[in-house]
Structures are given as structure tokens and as C-alpha cells.
Chains A and B, each alone.
Chain A
Amino acid sequence: MPESDGYALSLTRKILRFLMVLNPVFAFLILVLLIASLIWESWVMTALGVKSELDSTKLIFAMRTIMVLGIAAAPLVQVVLKRLMAIVESVDSGNPFVLVNAERLKTIAWSLVSLEVIHFMIIVVAKGASSQELPIDIDLKFSFTRWLAVLLCFVLARVFEQGARMRDDLEGTI
């Protein structure tokens, strides 16, 4: 393996490890925020920039829903990161074209689809509750690139499936 590839893999592994720690931390912080919003509603909402003089029931409900969706997304992100880490480790061991990696890529692809669905739900909730007086300031746009990544994962899973079969055939060729 070229040295630059080895460096890229090593860097990817470090980034993935970092993200695998960061993701549950963020999920925990959102959970804390959600619980705090239930216990100290006015304090949390003021901190989030919700003006207390306006009727913000709908907005508060929307923000809590978004928090719940955010927490729900964390296990999916963790699945993506773990599977990606396993693929990187299989590349490191010199045997990436195995059927288990195709399964991992499929799992990643379905997790990304689920994350996009959650993303869409957040857009719907945010748009539904956002108003001129009380806007929800979250950057939520449809991303063609993310859906392309989903497609890419499904295609790559198929490539890995074929690659694994070809490798098996090659290993059985005398």
C-alpha cells in the first residue's frame, strides 16, 4: 500500500474514533437540553432566544420534537461510523473485498436514508412552527449531494458484493 494511502487510512481512523466519541456526547447534550426544557422551560427557551412575551407553545413543542429527532439520529450516525470503521480496518488488514463489507455498506446506505427521513421530518416540523415573530433559525435545505451519497453507498455495496465473489473465484483458481 502506498505511504499516502496508509496515512489517509490512519487519519480516517482517527477522525472516525473522534466522531464516535463526539456523537453520543452531542446526543447526551441534546437529551440534557430536552430534559431541561421540560423542567426549566422559560429559562431554556429564553436562552434559545424565544421571546417570553409571545405565545410560543407551538414553537416550544416544535423545538422539543426536533430535539427528540436529533437524539433519534444519534444511534443511526453511530451505526454509520462503526460500519465505516470496520470497513477501514478491513482495508488495513488487506482484505476489503469480503461479503461482510457489502453488508456493512448496505447498512450504511439504509442508515443514511433513515437520517435523510429524519432530516426531512425536522424540516417539516421547523417550517410548520416557524413564523416571522418566532423563527426557527436552523439551516435546513434539501441536499442533492447527501442523496447522491446514499446512492453511491448502494452502488458500492453491489461493487463489493461482486468483488468478493470474484475474489472467491480467484482464490479457488489453480
Chain B
Amino acid sequence: MPINVKLDDVLYERRMTLTELSEKIDITLANLSILKTGKARAIRFSTLEAICKVLDCQPGDILEFTK
């Protein structure tokens, strides 16, 4: 899929683990893992908003379009 999820990179920059993020945004670790590995089919605005709020970033920092 040409949409890449860069959640791992942002998490590394913020020195945060996926487990910590899942606790802060109240989304299961399993679902966040699906998102992180690019296996998700879609992402809700509410999820994106929560991630951006906690990681203090923009949606573009999480998602990237490659040709």
C-alpha cells in the first residue's frame, strides 16, 4: 500500500513505547500493532487525533504517501 505508517519513528523520537501510547489513547495494543505494521485498512479521525495529541505531532508525521 502506498500509505506508510511512521508511528514507530515518531514513537522513537518521543522515547515512548507502543504500550504507553495504547494506555494514553485508550486503544488496545493489538489494534495499535495492526496500525503500526501497516495492516490496518483505515484509521478513524478520532484515533489519529488522539495519537497526534499524545505524541504532539501532525497527521503527516504519522502517515506518508509514497508513489
| Cα-based distance from A173 to B39 in the complex (angstroms) | 10
Docked Cα-Cα span, A174 to B43, in Å, equals 5
Secondary structure call for the A interface: mixed
B3: interface (CB < 8 Å) = no
A73 to chain B, nearest CB (A): 44
Rounded to whole angstroms, the CA-CA distance of A173 and B46 in the bound complex is: 11
Closest to A169 in B: B41
User: In the complex, how many angstroms separate the beta carbon of B23 from the nearest chain A beta carbon?
Assistant: 16
Q: Find the B residue at minimum CB distance from A168.
A: B41
Residue total for A at the interface (Cβ-Cβ under 8 A): 5
Give the complex CA separation of A169 and B42 in angstroms.
Answer: 8
Q: Is A172 an interface residue (CB 8 A)?
A: yes
8 Å CB interface, B20-45 against A: 27, 31-32, 34-35, 39-44
Q: How far is the CB of A172 from chain B (nearest CB, A)?
A: 3
Closest B residue by C-beta to A173? B42
Q: How far is the CB of A122 from chain B (nearest CB, A)?
A: 50
Chain B's closest residue to A171 (CB) is: B41
Task: With both chains docked as a complex, state the minimum distance between the C-beta of A83 and any C-beta of chain B, in angstroms.
Answer: 29
> Which of A172, A173, A174: most chain B CB closer than 10 A?
A174
Min distance, Cβ A97 to any Cβ of chain B, angstroms: 16
Q: Encode A10-46 as 1/0 by CB contact (under 8 A) with B.
A: 0000000000000000000000000000000000000
Determine which of A168, A169, A174 lies in contact with B27 in the assembled complex, contact meaning CB atoms within 8 Å: A174
Complex Cα–Cα for A19 and B32 (A): 49
Kindly list chain A residues whose C-beta atoms are within 8 Å of the C-beta of B31. Answer: 174
Chain A residue nearest to B34 (CB atoms) is A174
CA distance A107 to B18 in the complex (A): 46
* 10 extra A-B contacts, CB within 8 A, seeds A172-B39, A173-B44: A169-B42, A172-B41, A173-B40, A173-B42, A173-B43, A174-B27, A174-B32, A174-B34, A174-B35, A174-B42
A residues adjacent to B (C-beta < 8 A): 168-169, 172-174
- Which residues of B are at the interface with A, using a C-beta cutoff of 8 A? 27, 31-32, 34-35, 39-44, 47
A-B contact pairs, 23 of them (CB 8 A): A168-B41, A169-B41, A169-B42, A172-B34, A172-B39, A172-B40, A172-B41, A172-B42, A173-B40, A173-B41, A173-B42, A173-B43, A173-B44, A174-B27, A174-B31, A174-B32, A174-B34, A174-B35, A174-B40, A174-B42, A174-B43, A174-B44, A174-B47
